[in-house]
Amino acid sequence: MLPARRRGPGFRFPARRPPARPGAPLPLLLADLLAALLGCLALAGHHRPVLMALLVSAALLLRPHRPPRRTQGVLDELPSVCGRIAVAWLALAALVAAYAPHHALSARTLAAGCATHCAAALTGRAVVHWRRRAALLRRPRAALVVGPARTAQRVAAAVLRHPRCGVRPVGIVAERLDDVDGLPVLTTVGEVQRALIQNSVRDVLAVHPSVRTEQGPLLRQLAESGCAVWEIDADSPSYAAPDRIAGFACRRLEPGPGWRGSAGKRLLDVVVSGLLLVVASPLLLVCATVLRLGDGPGVVFRQERIGKDGLPFTLLKFRTHRPADAREAATRWSVANERDMPWFCRFLRRTSLDELLQLWNVFRGDMSLVGPRPERPYFVGQFSQAYPGYAARHRMPTGITGLAQVNGLRGDTSIEDRARFDNAYIDDWSLWQDVCILLRTAAALVRPTGS
């Protein structure tokens, strides 16, 4: 997953340029459909349209849904294709034998149909893969190689020696020039922009582990502008990898969830926070009344926190402690000792009831129910410098609870561990994961922890 975007000036590739996508699935789908229809010829003597429909449906449901690898051929997928077809035919034969024994498929029919289906599927897929490889060989995709100049030049030369991979490096993106012959080295944003436009760059190869952190904003801009960003394992043995380019292990780097699923997440936030505000309003009134009577005016604590994309917002909590001044509230990691608090403030912190007002932040859109916990600007700056993955937490809305919190990382716990769990939550995000975290939070509300 790519690091979070940093706001500020930067280049933008022309908006008319469509994003890079893997091979279109339609040709392979049509090949599989045609193969299933040809396989149905073995059932023609049974005059059973229902059987044919079941066979076609099973064959399409069992077909692979992952996009093929860049250099995949029909021999690579022969075992899986034939295995899925065999499963479809055996399931069909078992179904017929169970519900209509007098129309059971003979062994000859089963073998002929399965063999015809396999031969047709492999032939159709072979044609599709051959056409794709021929197109890439005829018009390889222009690529930029990002990383230290020496490593990048070495990888670019290796890729150029293998034109069958369908990638043609046209430039090196590095922070400084090295005395190495090869492709032109681009060191400024303007040079990168010109190279992208002039060469119609479609792929970006990141060839060093440091690229993701040092060039994270650039990689994200390239990905959002329509380029496919690949992380190449250039200097270590090539272990199992989802894909390869010229023999180098590689994997696709994605910009992150982005807008996908944001509507569902926002709908969940509005519905749940609105209902909880209504249901909990008597409890909120009781808490505010007790605090006002016991600790005087000012029952609501307002503090600036950093949210999505580094934007500040005002977080609301019940006041359980009064800092000496604004500086202490903004820069002191622990502003209170629970033993010095009134009993009711201590109770609010231990049961996390002091966080209930943040439901209003969620309802307004400042936060989400589930996400990385927001922190004060002073500590965001410090932690972003000390922990490389900390800044990446801000690529999604902050939340009242999160994966780190349900794993016990609240209060004075490891910031490095929190950042790792928060980034894992973002990388694996799904709406169901949010529901699970909310349920786990509800079950753990009575834990004696603070935030």
Asked whether residue 338 falls in the same domain as residue 434, the answer is yes
pLDDT one-digit tens code per residue, 151-180: 899 999 999 999 888 899 999 998 877 777
Whether residue 451 is predicted with pLDDT greater than 60 in this model: the reply is no
**Residue 451 in domain:** no
Can you tell me the mean pLDDT for 245-274? 79
Asked whether residue 55 falls in the same domain as residue 160, the answer is no
3-state secondary structure of 16: coil
Nearest to 403 by CA among 393, 384, 387, 418: 418
Higher pLDDT, 40 or 337: 40
pLDDT one-digit tens code per residue, 212-252: 767 777 887 888 788 889 888 877 665 666 678 888 888 88
Cα 134 to the chain's mean position, in Å? 32
Enumerate residues 6+ apart whose C-beta is below 8 A from 25: 67
Asked whether residue 243 falls in the same domain as residue 326, the answer is no
Q: How many residues does the chain have?
A: 451
Asked whether residue 147 falls in the same domain as residue 63, the answer is no
Cα 60 to the chain's mean position, in Å? 27
Nearest to 371 by CA among 308, 295, 283: 308
**Residue 21 in domain:** no
**Residue 228 in domain:** yes
**Residue 273 in domain:** yes
Can you tell me the mean pLDDT for 413-424? 87
Lowest mean pLDDT among 42-46, 255-259, 295-299: 255-259
Whether residue 7 is predicted with pLDDT greater than 80 in this model: the reply is no
Among 218, 253, 288, the domain boundary falls at 253
Do 145 and 230 contact (CB within 8 A), yes or no? Answer: no
Nearest to 91 by CA among 65, 58, 66, 68: 58
Asked whether residue 325 falls in the same domain as residue 387, the answer is yes
- Write the DSSP symbol of residue 252: E
Query: What pLDDT shows up at residue 15?
Result: 47
Among 137, 172, 202, the domain boundary falls at 137
pTM of the model: 0.58
Asked whether residue 322 falls in the same domain as residue 425, the answer is yes
Query: What pLDDT shows up at residue 450?
Result: 46
Asked whether residue 67 falls in the same domain as residue 178, the answer is no
Asked whether residue 282 falls in the same domain as residue 392, the answer is yes
Lowest mean pLDDT among 22-26, 135-139, 179-183, 224-228: 22-26
Bridge partner list, 171: 144
Do 395 and 256 contact (CB within 8 A), yes or no? Answer: yes
Among 94, 109, 137, the domain boundary falls at 137
CA dist 174 and 145 (Å) reads: 9
* Domain tally, the chain: 3
**pLDDT band of 10, cuts 50, 70, 90:** very low
Q: Tell me which residue range forms the domain holding 189.
A: 140-253
Nearest to 204 by CA among 225, 183, 184, 182: 225
DSSP for 50-113, please give it: HHHHHHHHHHHHSS--SPPPTT--HHHHHHHHHHHHHHHHHHHHHHHHHH-GGGPPPHHHHHHH
DSSP for 220-265, please give it: HHHHHTTPEEEEEE-SS---S-SEEETTEEEEEE---STTTTHHHH
Asked whether residue 291 falls in the same domain as residue 437, the answer is yes
Asked whether residue 397 falls in the same domain as residue 421, the answer is yes
Asked whether residue 290 falls in the same domain as residue 425, the answer is yes
CA dist 238 and 284 (Å) reads: 58
Bridge partner list, 305: 313
Percent of the chain with pLDDT over 70: 83
**Residue 16 in domain:** no
CA dist 166 and 360 (Å) reads: 52
**Residue 208 in domain:** yes
**Residue 393 in domain:** yes
Do 39 and 116 contact (CB within 8 A), yes or no? Answer: yes
Token duo for residue 251: 């994997």
Lowest mean pLDDT among 164-168, 209-213, 328-332: 328-332
Token duo for residue 252: 């696709």
Asked whether residue 311 falls in the same domain as residue 370, the answer is yes
**Residue 2 in domain:** no
**pLDDT band of 330, cuts 50, 70, 90:** low
Report the CATH number at residue 246: 3.40.50.720
